[in-house]
Structure 1
Amino acid sequence: MAVEALVFIKASEAAGNTAPPTFAGRTFDRMQDDPATALDKAHMFEPHYDLHVWLYRENPRGVFAQFNPNATCQHHQGGSHAH
């Protein structure tokens, strides 16, 4: 399981911030859709910064990595949002 912290870019800039947020020395990832690709990189959100924290499943890429090769959606039975 991961927790994702999300900060909308417009709100961050409106508050006077000029750089992405950081946590524990790790800079948040910028997530913004590219209209030239089919992949929805911002997951149907407006442009934002996010940071994943992997809590209950070891991530060989690190605790703050964007993706975890040990996590899959194989048994997901929720909504139909495709990635």
Structure 2
Amino acid sequence: MSLRSRAAGAALALAVPFALAAVPADATPVPDPDPLVWTDLTPTYTATADYQYEPFAVTDGYARAATCDRSGQGGAGYHYVKDAGLGSLDPAEPAGLLYETDADGRRALAGVEWIVRAGGAGTPPTLFGQSFQGPTAVPGVKEPVYTLRAWIWKDNPSGLFAPWNPTVTCP
């Protein structure tokens, strides 16, 4: 893709938080803990917009997991983990990307994930006023970790920061 395409992706990333904030009148949204969270997530949208084209994620150092992660509460999809991002609490540097397979058989970006090594009996970190889940296992990461998922590229009826998305399916 050209530089112009990447610039268009960045412009889209800036517009998405405002578009997602508009909810149809007949919908019953799950309230976010802080209405300003969409503004707080703007750096995340900007940093991950290019990864809607999955090969850019791989080129930038995100390693694909071969299995699709699913539970009785929904799916998380395919984890793509960047080792250099493990431990980051920077909104613009999530260590993980969450993809699902779309109707055309391609990988579609659904969410992002911050991943912090559990390393003992520590207290889970917080980000955006949300406590991380865990300790748990993440495909592609060898040790137990704390995670925080944000479903910024695909709506999640369970909530923006819910650990599982019932609309994410595994093939």
The alignment's TM-score, normalised by the length of structure 1, stands at 0.63
CA contact 2:118–2:135 (8 Å) conserved in 1: no
Map of 1:21 onto structure 2: 125
Q: CA deviation at 1:43?
A: 3.2
Q: Within the alignment, does 1:43 sit opposite 2:147 as a pair? A: no
- For residues 20 and 63 of structure 1, the distance between their equivalents in structure 2, rounded to whole angstroms, comes to 19
Q: Where in structure 1 are there 5+ consecutive unaligned residues?
A: 33-41, 75-83
In the other structure, the counterpart of 2:115 is 6
The CA distance in 1 between the partners of 2:118 and 2:135, in whole Å, is 9
* Poorly superposed stretches of 4+, deviation over 2 Å: none
Whole-Å separation in 1 of the counterparts to 2:167 and 2:111? 12
Alpha-carbon distance in structure 2 between the residues aligned to 1:56 and 1:47: 26
Pairwise CA distance, 1:6: 0.2
User: Larger relative CO (CA 8 A, sep 6+): 1 or 2?
Assistant: 1
- Identify the residue that residue 52 of structure 1 maps to in structure 2: 149
Instruction: Compare the two structures and name the one with the higher helix fraction.
Output: 2
Equivalenced residues, count: 60
Map Cα deviations across residues 9-38 of structure 1 (whole Å, 9 max, x no partner). 12xx6xxxx421001111000133xxxxxx
Task: Name the Cα RMSD after superposition.
Answer: 1.9
Structure 2: gaps of 5 or more residues? 1-109
Structure with larger Rg: 2
Identical-pair percentage: 39
TM-score where L is the length of structure 2: 0.32
Q: Contact 2:124 / 2:132 at 8 angstroms: preserved in 1? A: yes
Find the aligned partners of 1:5 and 1:43 in 2 and give their Cα distance: 11
